[in-house]
């Protein structure tokens, strides 16, 4: 489970004590008229030390929290999906990764995306789940017999301010439909080749330059995006403020 805590600023008295000690070492006696240049250098060094003393500890703590965001207890994911979507879907852990945590809608709260299998009838799906097909644009057709027609989907939870683990969710989406996306190919779940289930999706942060040559993330993306592999080329899924959009990289069919 992601542990979120409020970051506390470094007490100002501790910072000042630290700076005073350093200043004593650097300039043990008051500057004279002939040492103006040295005094200016000392002042710049002191200002830099103040900045580091106040800002570095919170930044390090924030980095640790972000690192934990990708290390979620699997049981937490299963329980959250079951609570949010009902017994109609189950988490598919065969893929690596099979879930992503990010801020998809750009509200500074953590959201969750999980690969799931539709296993029950529509009546078992929570009534507040938005069923949507972002891939071919036709309305998503819920499988009449999920047992006979295994269907994979992307379950997405828009978290409230505490995060996706804390109900109520701000939005819940079940995305599926005819698509070339590999992570939604049920054949890969039952494939004997482990490589068929690895590295098929990744998180693309809002300000990332990794796929800048492809024009990603799209200007319409409100938050982090999801890069999804296909047989031919990478594709991207993102929230545009109203719903989820999917598009292939330049050169895709």
Q: Using omega within 30 degrees of 0 as the cis cutoff, is the peptide bond preceding 72 cis?
A: no
Nearest Cα to Cα of residue 121 among 146, 103, 101: 146
Q: Is residue 4 a part of any domain in this protein? A: no
Of the residues 32, 47, 68, the one at which a domain ends: 68
Number of domains comprising the chain: 2
- The reply to whether 191 falls in a domain is yes
Based on the fold, state whether residues 149 and 190 are members of the same structural domain: yes
87 within domain boundaries:
yes
Give Cα separations from 89 to 117, 142, 155, 199 (angstroms): 5, 12, 9, 23
pTM here is 0.72
Do 87 and 18 sit in the same domain of this protein? no
The residue among 26, 52, 68 that closes a domain is 68
Of the candidates 93, 91, 113, which has an alpha carbon nearest to the alpha carbon of residue 102? Answer: 113
Query: Looking at the structure, do residues 204 and 113 belong to the same domain, yes or no?
Result: yes
pLDDT tens for each residue of the chain, 253 residues long = 333 334 444 444 544 454 455 455 445 555 555 555 555 556 655 566 555 554 544 444 333 434 444 579 999 999 999 999 999 999 999 999 999 999 999 999 999 999 999 999 999 999 999 999 999 877 899 999 999 999 999 999 999 999 999 999 999 999 999 999 999 999 999 998 999 999 999 999 998 888 887 788 889 999 999 999 999 999 999 999 999 999 998 755 4
Both 64 and 78 in one domain: the answer is no
Domain that holds residue 20: 12-68
In a domain, 5, yes or no: no
**CB 191, CB 125: distance < 8 Å:** no
Record the tokens describing residue 222, joined without a space.
């409100």
């Amino acid at each position: 489970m992601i542990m979120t805590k409020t970051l506390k600023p470094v007490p100002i008295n501790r910072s000042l004590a630290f700076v005073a000690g350093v200043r004593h070492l650097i300039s043990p006696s008051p500057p004279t008229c002939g040492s103006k240049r040295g005094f200016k250098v000392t002042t710049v060094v002191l200002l830099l030390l103040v900045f580091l003393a106040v800002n570095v500890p919170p930044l390090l703590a924030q980095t640790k929290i972000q690192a934990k965001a990708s290390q979620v207890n699997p049981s937490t994911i299963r329980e959250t999906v079951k609570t949010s979507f009902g017994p109609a879907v189950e988490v598919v852990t065969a893929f690596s990764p099979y879930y992503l945590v990010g801020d998809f809608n750009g509200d500074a709260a953590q959201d969750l995306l999980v690969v799931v299998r539709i296993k029950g009838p529509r009546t078992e799906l929570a009534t507040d789940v938005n069923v949507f097909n972002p891939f071919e644009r036709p309305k998503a057709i819920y499988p009449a017999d999920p047992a006979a027609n295994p269907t994979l989907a992307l379950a997405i939870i828009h978290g409230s301010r505490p995060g996706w683990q804390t109900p109520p969710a701000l939005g819940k989406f079940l995305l599926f439909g005819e698509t070339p996306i590999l992570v939604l190919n049920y054949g890969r779940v039952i494939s004997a080749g482990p490589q068929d289930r690895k590295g098929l999706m990744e998180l693309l942060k809002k300000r990332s330059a990794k796929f800048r040559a492809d024009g990603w993330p799209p200007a319409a993306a409100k938050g982090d995006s999801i890069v999804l592999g296909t047989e031919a080329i990478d594709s991207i899924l993102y929230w545009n403020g109203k719903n989820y959009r999917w598009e292939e990289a330049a050169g895709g069919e």
